[in-house]
Amino acid sequence: MSKIFSIAIISKWFDEDKHKFEYQRSKALRTKLRTSLSNVIINSDTQFHVEVRNARASAGQNVFRSIYNRIDKADIIVVDLSTKTEDLRNIWLELGIALAIAQIKGKENIYLITADDISGNLIHEVLPSDLQGFFLTSYNYKEEGEIKFGDNNSFLMSLHVALREWLRVQKNIETSIDEDSIQDQIKEDEK
């Protein structure tokens, strides 16, 4: 049976027909994370897989319960704040759920990100002071589908470390994590 390292992305839902750019940006973000982390899995073992999904409800399910379950089961929570301020209401609610679950489980697995075209206003006008200590980075999206993080790969490196730690626990191996090799892997992935 395959074991899954799960990343849940909390973000605004975009209709593909009405918000083509935002929809494509969201899809490119999921692809970037899946591809980058899958390369770690490929070098590890075929019994493990990476799953990157939006934390939203599935058809026919109770919306709150579905979102709660996806957040609860995720190993990593990525909160994409790339939307207008007035559209952040559901994101704040879902982030609150994630914060409560992380607190109960004793996890530090929440990352805040935003697209460059939004980030100028985010830090000063949108981000509540209670969240100032959380990991926050921006990313640039090009319409060709390319995502580039503006933090010298700190975000991807943090995800790689979390995944390698998860793999170590799954395999019951006691080894240290070599951050230099992670940085090399990320640079190779970006070529």
| pLDDT single digits (tens) 94-139 | 999 999 999 999 888 999 998 876 555 555 566 777 887 788 888 8
- How confident is the prediction for the chain on average, in pLDDT? 80
CA distance 28 to 22: 10
Q: What average pLDDT does the segment 65-72 reach?
A: 90
Amino acid at 6: S
CATH of domain 3-189: 3.40.50
- Domain boundaries, given as residue ranges, for the chain: 3-189
Between the alpha carbon of residue 127 and those of residues 78, 88, 120, the distances in Å are 15, 10, 11
Tell me how far apart the alpha carbons of residues 140 and 119 are, in angstroms, rounded to a whole number.
10
Comparing 43-47, 80-84, 86-90, 152-156, the range with the smallest average pLDDT is 43-47
CA-CA distances (angstroms) from residue 116 to 127, 141, 142? 15, 8, 11
Instruction: Judge contact between 47 and 126, C-beta under 8 A.
Output: no
pLDDT attached to residue 95: 93
The predicted model scores a pTM of 0.83
Residue 23 has what pLDDT? 81
Amino acid identity, position 92: W
